[in-house]
Each structure stands twice: as structure tokens, then as C-alpha cells.
Amino acid sequence: MSDTENTETSKPRVGFVGLGTMGSLMSANLLRADFPLTVWNRTSQRADDLRDSGAEVATSPAALAHSSQIVVSCLTDSPQVEEVLFGTEGLSEGLAPGSLLIDCSTLSPLKAQEFGERLARQNVTMLDAPVSGGSEGAKNATLTILVGGTSTDFERALGVLNAMGQTVTLLGPLGAGQWAKAINQVILAGMYLGVAEGVTLGLKAGLDVEVVLGALRGGAAGSWVLENRSQRMIDDNYPLGFKIALHRKDLAIGLELAQRVGATLPVSSLAATFEDGLIAQGYGDDDNSALARTIRQLSGL
């Protein structure tokens, strides 16, 4: 990247790896914010729409990193992040000293810290920045982004983060974002179960549940899950927003961290058990609101 190029664009060149449900929408928002963007995905066809919108498509993570000052990754789990970072033709082969990695994947904070330490050996810095808000938040650039790292790196990344999210918070050193995401997923487990139980109770009572929930939205039971996922539970239809298999993966992180610090999470443990059953029944790719399937089944609906 020449100084002339950077002056002309006034924004750093950004690379984005991982164009799944969330990543494809997040990277599209970076384009809309006029960031010069290079993308890469293991399944290259997922980059076609972004290419048509003006993004460059790299042939490998290393090639993407070579042409980027800031790289954003949004991948499934620790093994995928490690492979894309440090595998053959991985990002680490192309990241120049002074580059910044923003990892929006959800993984253990211990792995985030490990990856940051490995990158620091080549003078590359890292923020862990997992996101919350579902596919709606990714599409509308209203994600909550939970960040761990230094204040210097956070300030450098803020323009990129603000292009993808609405609430962007630095929570502490590297790994703090992942701790916060684990807490987020633990809270969501209880909220999904609570809304599913309320919907089921209303259906069994023969009430017009849509009217009931409409009345409850403005009260103490109001929540994102009630607003955005209760209709799916009423309809018993769960189009993808966030895969139940991925939430189960995230709960495993939360439960492991709880064990490390001596916290007891009975509701999360119950949700994990229900999710295991749903995955075994072939519902792992359904939206996380499919937890209602289990409550409905147990209630004879």
C-alpha cells in the first residue's frame, strides 16, 4: 500500500475473511462505508456478490493480508481461526509489521490471547471483537461489538467497527471481548427458554398468543428475543438467523469458563442439553429459537 493510495482513499485498506451468514453482511457494510475492501472465503462463490459491488477477491488469506492494513476475520471456531491465521498461506504469512487483526469470531478468550501472543512475535496486533445482534444486526450495521485489546488498537479500529455495528465497547485487554460474548450467550440461553415457555403456555391455554406478547413487549418481559424470535416459536418455524449448533458451541465456551471460575449455570446447562437433543434430531442448522421445539414437544404441541 503506497502513501498515495492511502491519501486518496483516506481510509485504511481492509481485508475480510469468512463470508458466512454474518461475515458477508458485515463486509458489505464496509463497502457501503467506502472502505477499500479485499475479501476471501474458502468457498469462493460466496464472494461473487461482493466482487460485483466493488470488492477485490484474494486467492488466499496470505494474499489478502499482504494488501491490507487492517484484517477482519469472522469464522466458526478456534480451529478455523488458527488454520486461517497460521496454516499454509495463512494470514500470518502476509501480515506486515504494524498490521492489525480484528477477530469477530466467537471462541475461548484463552485461545484469543494465545493467537494474539503469536501474532505479536511478528509485530502484528490483535483485537478480539465478537458480535451480537444476529443476521438482522449484521445486515443493518446495528451489531453490538464486544472488544478486547489495547486502547490504541481500539481507536485505530473504531472506524471499521462503527461501519459494522452500532454499540462498540472496549471492555478490557485481549480476551475481554470473548468473556463478554460468553456472558451474552449464557443470558440468551435463558431468554430463549423463557420466551419459548411463555409461548407454549399461551398456546396450551388457547389464548391469542400474538396479542398477549404484543401486550407484554412494553413491560418487564420485553426483550430482543421476544421482539424478534417469538413469532417463529408461535409458528413452529425457525428460518436461519443464528444456527442452534453455533449457539451450542458458544455455550460450551461459557460452561467451560464457568467451571474455571467456579460459577454454577443451571439454566445454560439445561439449554445445552436441549440443544444437544435438537442437533441429534437434525435441527442444528435451524435458528436458535428452535429451542421452542423441545418445549413444545414436551408439552404435547
* pTM (2 d.p.): 0.90
Other C-beta atoms closer than 10 Å to the C-beta of 37 total 24
Instruction: Assign domain 179-298 one CATH number from 3.10.20.30, 1.10.1050.10, 1.20.1740.10, 1.10.1040.10.
Output: 1.10.1040.10
Residue with grid cell 478455523, as numbered in its chain: 80
Q: Rounded mean pLDDT of 21-33? A: 96
| Domain map (residue ranges) of the chain | 3-174, 179-298
User: Residue 12: which residues within 8 A CB-CB, separation 6 or more?
Assistant: 6, 35, 36, 68, 69, 70, 159, 160
Give the three cell numbers for residue 142. 446495528
Q: Which of 11, 111, 181, 243 is catalytic?
A: 181
The span from the CA of 157 to the CA of 166, in Å, is: 14
Q: What is the mean pLDDT of residues 148-159?
A: 98
At 191-205, the pLDDT tens digits run: 999 999 999 999 999
Q: What is the pLDDT of residues 102-133, one digit of tens each?
A: 999 999 999 999 999 999 999 999 999 999 98
Annotation says 11 is catalytic: no
Distance CA 263, CA 138 (A): 31
pLDDT band at residue 5, thresholds of 50, 70 and 90?
very low
Q: Per the structure block, which three cell numbers stand in for 218?
A: 412494553
Q: What is the helix (H) or strand (E) element at residue 166, kind and residue range?
A: strand 165-172
Which of these, 111, 95, 186, lies nearest to 148 by C-alpha position? 111
Percentage with pLDDT > 70 across the chain: 97
Q: What mean pLDDT value characterizes the chain?
A: 94
- pLDDT of 300 reads 97
Distance of alpha carbon 59 from alpha carbon 80, whole angstroms: 17
**Strand 143-148 with 131-132, pairing:** antiparallel
Task: Quote the Cα angle for 14-157-120, to 5°.
Answer: 85
CA nearest neighbour of 1 among 73, 70, 50, 62:
70
- Pick among 3.40.50.2000, 3.40.50.920, 3.40.190.10, 3.40.50.720: CATH of 3-174: 3.40.50.720
Q: Is 194 exposed, middle or buried (0-12, 13-18, 19+ CB in 10 A)?
A: middle
For 53-104, the pLDDT digits (tens) are 999 999 999 999 999 999 999 998 999 999 999 999 999 999 999 999 999 9
